[in-house]
């Protein structure tokens, strides 16, 4: 699993108007090509009256699955610009559709490329780009007498915390990054003088916002 990657957080869409043509950018996170194709088909159904529904997606840890469609626009003026926006922003596991309702004014090849680029940009922005960072659950069970000290140390370290379980003993749910989980576990053992019972849990991704997303 990747230690981190950039994608989008949710379904999103936004519209721009260029020389009377409406361009609506739609984007959503996807894990498989089947999900991407289903999303594209869904948008095409919702906007069946549109002139074009052009699309692209990038999926996989190494961007193994990439596909684009001009959907009737001149070759290279729609699907490729959408794909380039996804790649330029370094996004993975994302599908984008840009819907066009023709406004009666021809844009030319250069104008189409710019329009579909801008449509992809606004659609991705509406879907909220995020950085998915791989974390690992680490649980520490301690006596109540240790709670104040351990919480203080965790705050000082800036550790991400889940729910705390209060029973005969206290169990703190910690979520360090996966790369530091082993060192973090040893640190927990050290600060509790070996009195804390440390248990490693599963790895999972946690979304973090991306500030100032770069655009072409």
Q: What is the pLDDT of residues 39-85, one digit of tens each?
A: 999 999 999 999 999 999 999 999 999 999 999 999 999 999 999 99
CATH value of 131-209 in 1.10.287.130, 3.20.20.140, 2.60.120.10, 3.30.70.240: 3.30.70.240
**Sheet harboring 94-101: ordered strands across?**
12-18, 21-29, 94-101, 52-59, 65-69
- Tokens 């989008």 belong to residue: 8
Are the C-beta atoms of residues 192 and 142 closer than 8 Å to each other?
yes
Query: What pLDDT is stored for residue 1 in this prediction?
Result: 85
For residue 132, what are the contacts with CB-CB under 8 A and spacing of at least 6? 4, 5, 6, 7, 205, 206, 207, 208
Please state, rounded to an integer, the average pLDDT across all residues of the chain: 94
pLDDT at 211: 64
**Do 4-127 and 131-209 have matching folds?**
no
From the list 123, 165, 118, 151, the residue with the least C-alpha distance to 29 is 123
* pLDDT tens digit sequence for 133-185: 999 999 999 999 999 999 999 999 999 999 999 999 999 999 999 999 999 99
Confidence label for 104 from pLDDT (cuts 50, 70 and 90): confident
pLDDT band at 210 (very low <50, low <70, confident <90, very high): confident
Looking at residue 212, its pLDDT comes to: 52
Q: Does the global pTM surpass 0.85?
A: no
**Domain range summary for the chain, segments of one domain joined by +:** 4-127, 131-209
Has residue 37 got a pLDDT over 50?
yes
- Map residue 167 onto helix, strand or coil: coil
Hey, what CATH class is 4-127 in?
Answer: alpha beta
Question: Which ranges of the chain would DSSP assign to H, the alpha helix?
Answer: 33-46, 79-88, 108-126, 147-157, 181-191
């Amino acid at each position: 699993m990747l230690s981190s990657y950039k994608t989008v957080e949710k379904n999103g869409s936004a519209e721009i108007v260029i020389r009377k043509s409406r361009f609506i950018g739609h984007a959503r996170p996807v894990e498989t090509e089947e999900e991407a194709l289903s999303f594209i088909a869904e948008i095409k159904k919702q906007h069946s009256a549109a002139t074009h529904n052009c699309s692209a997606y990038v999926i996989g840890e190494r961007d193994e699955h990439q596909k684009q469609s001009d959907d009737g626009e001149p070759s290279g003026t729609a699907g490729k610009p959408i794909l380039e926006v996804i790649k330029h922003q370094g996004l993975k596991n994302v599908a984008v559709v840009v819907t066009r309702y023709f406004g009666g004014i021809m844009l030319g090849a250069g104008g189409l490329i710019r329009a579909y680029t801008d449509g992809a940009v606004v659609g991705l922005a509406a879907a909220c780009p995020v950085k998915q960072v791989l974390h690992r659950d680490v649980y520490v069970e301690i006596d109540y007498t240790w709670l104040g000290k351990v919480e203080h140390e965790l705050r000082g370290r800036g550790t991400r915390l889940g729910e705390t379980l209060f029973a005969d003993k206290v169990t703190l749910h910690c979520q360090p990054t996966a790369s530091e989980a082993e060192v973090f576990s040893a640190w927990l053992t050290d600060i509790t003088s070996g009195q804390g019972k440390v248990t490693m849990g599963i790895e999972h991704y946690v979304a973090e916002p991306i500030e100032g997303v770069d655009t072409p």
